[in-house]
Structure 1
Amino acid sequence: MIVDLPRTFPIRVAPLPGEALDSWLEALAHRMDTRYGDVLGDLGLTATRTGGRNLDLPTDWTIALLDQEAARVTHATGVDRDVLQSMTLMHFHGRALLIDPDTRQVNRKRLWGRGNGSRYCPDCLADSRGRWQLVWRLGWTFACLQHCRLLADLCPNCQRTPRQRLFSLEGQPTPGRCGTRPSRRVEPTPGSGCGHDLSTTHTLRLSRDHPVLAAQHHLLRTIETDSADFGLYAQLPQPASVALSEIRAVAGRVLTSVAASEMSAWVPEDILSAGGASQHPDGATQHKTLIRPGFMAPPTAIRTATAVTAALRILGQPSPPPAIFAMRQLIDSCRDSAEKTTATTITTWGRGTGPILRSVQLAALGPSMRPSDQLRKRTASFPARSRIDEQQLNHRARTLPSIFWHQHWPRRLCWSAADST
């Protein structure tokens, strides 16, 4: 494939670790003192895609960058192509969200994917002179571990979600300033956006041992390593997509079934107090999240922190007994709602879940099941990695009756020993 390469830029700006692609492009335009549209045009990033209502929408390159687009940007800026790809949400594809590579759209109905917009940490913006982290765009990110505070959802001046739309092609971006464009009904002439200094935004600060920060640490580590090995997952680690699907399933039930008066048993009081005073973005997405809480990514950092922290009171336990006890409390709350929770309806909690959640659910339902159903569902069992060692294998071989060594039994035992190791 022949790619038309642009001219090389005389001024170059290095991306920061973990920076989002759109943040770096805006920083590049600011450094060169030029319009954002001119930078995109010189890089060849001018394509449009067609929306669901036959509208031409600007491409969000921070979701996905095509190989030919990355080749042009690499030639013009000197930034390695792999680095550019790591600055897009495709870096998290299959772990923290799902993306359609043909349409460059995030699946918002699975894994709490966010189609657009970004949360942010005001202290991080101040430290980096306005550069945005890619991880802030994930629906799973709600707190800053470095500065021990919740992320902000809105610009306090215009009350809009930052980066929900492409920055004005006619404007010159200023890193750290709100780039949300006003409605054309209010200001017909395209401008550079709201312009508010987002590093001055106030959010709730947390102690270093706060459960919300612990929950955020587990999520980010799971996403980065593509493996959940904390809490109940320590004995049988699961892929990130499975663990996050289970957390999403439990979190959705918490938001749906647990009454506000009972929520203090699931999350710290300071989060509940901040949640009552928080402001929510407007729009159709917000309306859907209130009708079916947990089905899509919660609209605010506080609500996300509440749901995830509550879910990890079950899945984050170090052993099954306390997790089963907490799950039984949640199931009792679900029984008070319209949809009853039984051994046959637990599969409706969410798609993509695995053995850990199912085992806890069945164990919690065990006392309400008949003995025959308990045996059939194996409610007393819990999945765990086999820990048999060579000494135990030799002992089994020496004590095995010789009558079992006829026909295919030795072969099956050899296979079992190989699987156990």
Structure 2
Amino acid sequence: MTPLRRLPVRLAPVPGESLDSWLAAFSRRLATPARDLLPALGLDVTTLRGSTTGLAVVLRDDEATQVAKATGVPVPTLHMMTLARYNAVLRTDPSTRRLMPYHAWTRRRGTWFCPRCLAETGGRWQLRWRLGWSFACVRHRCLLVDRCPDCGQIPRPDAGLLHIPLASRCGARPATASRTHERCGADLTASAPHELAGGHAVLAAQRLIDTMLTTGTATFGLYTATAAGQVFTDLAVLAPRILGTAAMPHAADPAVGDLAEVYQASLSEGGTAYHGAGSGPGHAVHAAVAVTRAMAVLSKADATAAAAALAALPAPGITARRLVSPHDNGPARSISTMLTDTLQRARHTLFPRPPSPSKARTARPRTPSGRRHDLLGSVQHCPDHDRAPPRSNRSPCPTRQRQDSDGPPP
């Protein structure tokens, strides 16, 4: 094997950039496809299944050491460019370079994007855009775009291993493509995102999400210095329930009313944004509405106020028993005691128990317990009318009386 040497060209990653986006920028800088670039970085092309996307999920330690030698980028920086840094929110499998089904809310294919960020950075993709918890750009105050305007698919940063990726271009394979390596190539910076006002509730929820991802702790509403992983577990349980039972946004909604048209346009033929407990949001607007409403519940000062806010969410005519169920949280999910208390209170509000009929209740018969002398002592303290009369005062046996009246036997 040829020993690695330092590449003559340096390319620093953009803050928050994903690893496959940085590799795509390197390919453009050197005018070299990934199939030829990756071996020069010490990476085995045969394990990548035709794409560099897996490298943005997990980069093994030995691979990171090789890439650091060839590029001069520190090993910790390379690891921070992969989804493994968010293991408190999701779970990665190093052997397959895939996300494990820990939270269905986390997407597994492609990435959403902000077209203005792509235009400013020359086509560099943020790692957080791959998370289902990222649905808005707080810098440009807009929703993330989740579909290519030309092919209608979720785009991807790379263009495979055989071609040099174009900056800010869609790397998805169109449904009508006749060749396996054919890519869309549409200009993603031309996409028109949905604008949000400066004090929009969606932006406030996104800022809080970003803060938890950065600091690893949460201090707001029901939580006091709580680990971010626990809060994201609560959100992963609550947000899909809200997506399936809450009323659709309407113009009178003070929080997400301006998203009503975008939400309605994104719905599938089934007329719903909810595709089952094991699926995540299909569009950025679905994630924005569900997470914003969930954060509004969890941001209340106590469980009573949170339960009242949660009980007001179900749409008319929808049975919301699963929304307020403290159980059925999925495998390997343990929600916090604060959320459990909130769900129980909301369940009692939506489904109050009918009053039981008033009737006198007696103690259930049971076998006496205790030692023999204790039982005898209890009997001695019984009232006189409940005790048996002394043997001397008992009436004689009827047979004995009859024998006495007939006289002694012969």
Shorter chain as denominator, the TM-score bin is 0.7 to 0.9
Match in the other structure for 1:348:
328
Residue in 2 that maps onto 1:173: 165
Kindly indicate whether residue 78 of structure 2 is the aligned counterpart of residue 80 of structure 1: no
3-state DSSP class of the match of 1:237? strand
Distance 1:12 1:219, change over 3 A: same
Offset at residue 242 of structure 1 (A): 1.4
Given the superposition, is the C-alpha separation of residues 179 and 259 from structure 1 closer, same or farther in structure 2, using an over 3 Å criterion?
A: same
Q: Tell me which of 2, 25, 28 is aligned to 1:27.
A: 25
Q: In the alignment, what sits opposite 1:222?
A: 212
Contact 2:241 2:322 (8 Å CA) reproduced: no
Alpha-carbon separation, structure 2, partners of 1:202 and 1:312: 27
Query: Aligned pair in 2 of structure 1 residues 186, 102: CA closer, same or farther (>3 Å)?
Result: closer
Q: 1:153 Cα deviation (Å)?
A: 0.5
Number of matched pairs: 351
From the superposition, tell whether residues 263 and 97 of structure 1 become closer, same or farther in structure 2 (CA, over 3 Å).
Answer: farther
In structure 1, what is the equivalent of residue 115 of structure 2? 122
TM-score using structure 2 length = 0.77
CA distance in 2, matches of 1:207, 1:124: 18
- What is the DSSP-based 3-state SS (H/G/I as helix, E as strand, rest coil) of the residue aligned with 1:238? strand
244 and 6 in structure 1: CA distance in 2 versus 1, 3 angstrom threshold: same
2:301 corresponds to which of 318, 327, 349: 318
Aligned with residue 213 of structure 1, among 196, 199, 203: 203
Identify the residue that residue 242 of structure 1 maps to in structure 2: 230
User: Are residues 189 and 66 of structure 1, via their aligned partners in 2, closer, same or farther at CA, if it must alter by over 3 Å?
Assistant: closer
Note the residue ranges of structure 2 that are not aligned, 5 or more in a row: 357-410
- The answer for the alignment partner of 1:390 in structure 2 is none
Q: 1:298 to 1:134 in 2, by over 3 A?
A: same
Rate the CA distance shift 1:8–1:187 in 2: closer, same or farther, 3 A: farther
- The alpha-carbon distance between structure 1 residues 260 and 181, as it changes in their structure 2 partners (threshold 3 A), is closer
Give the whole-Å Cα distance in 2 for the aligned partners of 1:152 and 1:209. Answer: 20
Does 2:249 correspond to 1:255? no
CA spacing shift, 1:29–1:49, aligned 2, 3 Å: closer
Amino acid across the alignment from 1:237? A
Aligned partners of 2:97 and 2:273: how far apart in 1?
23
For residue 49 of structure 1, report the CA deviation from its aligned partner.
Answer: 5.1
Shift in alpha-carbon separation, 1:295–1:340, aligned structure 2, 3 A: closer
Match of 1:269 among 250, 257, 261: 257
Structure possessing the higher radius of gyration over alpha carbons: 2
Distance in 2 of aligned mates of 1:237 and 1:371: 40
Shift of 1:369: 5.2
Give the aligned partner of residue 383 of structure 1.
none
**Does the C-alpha gap of structure 1 residues 259 and 328 become closer, same or farther in structure 2, counting only changes over 3 Å?**
closer
Bigger drift between 298-307 and 222-231 goes to 222-231
1:147 is displaced (CA, Å) by 0.5
1:98 aligns with 2:105: no
What SS does the corresponding residue of 2:328 show, helix, strand or coil?
A: helix
How far apart, in 1, do the equivalents of 2:272 and 2:239 lie?
16
Report the TM-score, using the length of structure 1 for normalisation.
0.75
Inter-partner Cα distance in structure 1 for 2:73 and 2:347: 55
CA deviations on 1:277-305 (whole Å, 9 max, x unpaired) are 2377x9xxx9997431x533201100000
> Against the structure 1 CA distance between its residues 32 and 241, is the aligned structure 2 distance closer, same or farther, given a 3 Å change threshold?
same
Which among 267, 285, 291 is matched to residue 308 of structure 1?
291
Per-residue deviation, 1:187: 3.9
Q: Is the 8 A contact 2:58 2:93 kept in 1?
A: no
Question: Would you say the 8 A contact 1:44–1:72 is kept in 2?
Answer: yes
Structure 1 residue 62: deviation in Å? 0.3
SS at match of 2:226: coil
What is the one-letter code of the residue matched to 2:13?
P
Note the alpha carbon deviations across 1:104-143, whole angstroms, 9 max, x for none.
Answer: 2212452622222101001111111111111111111000
Q: 2:267·2:273 contact (CA, 8 Å) conserved in 1?
A: no
2:10 paired residue number: 12
Classify 1:355/1:77 alpha carbon distance in 2 versus 1 (closer, same or farther; 3 Å): same
Secondary structure in structure 1 of the residue aligned to 2:231: helix
Instruction: Tell me if 1:188 matches 2:172.
Output: no
Distance 1:371 1:91, change over 3 A: farther
Corresponding residue number in structure 2 for 1:107? 100
CA distance in 2, matches of 1:202, 1:216: 20
Q: Work out whether residues 51 and 161 of structure 2, in 8 Å CA contact, stay in contact via their aligned partners in 1.
A: no
- Specify the SS of the correspondent of 1:119: coil
Q: What letter is aligned with 1:179? A: G
1:395 match: none
Q: Is the 8 A contact 2:241 2:323 kept in 1?
A: no
Q: Among residues 204, 208, 219, which one is paired with 2:194 in the alignment?
A: 204
The residue that corresponds to 1:295 in the other structure is 278
Which ranges of structure 1 fall in alignment gaps of 5 or more residues? 51-55, 373-421
| Partner Cα separation in structure 1 for residue 250 and residue 265 of structure 2 | 18
What is the CA distance between 1:170 and its match in structure 2?
A: 1.7
Paired residues for 1:151-162 under 5 Å:
151-162=144-155
Q: Aligned partners of 2:218 and 2:159: how far apart in 1?
A: 36
Question: Cα deviation per residue 1:6-39 (whole Å; 9 max; x = unaligned)?
Answer: 2321111111111100010010110111222211
In the alignment, structure 1 residue 362 sits paired with structure 2 residue 344: yes
Give the aligned CA root-mean-square deviation in angstroms.
3.1
> Which residue identity lines up with residue 227 of structure 2 in the other structure?
P
Alignment of 1:331-410 (within 5 A): 336-337=318-319, 339=321, 345-350=325-330, 351-366=333-348, 368=352
The aligned residue for residue 60 of structure 2 is 66
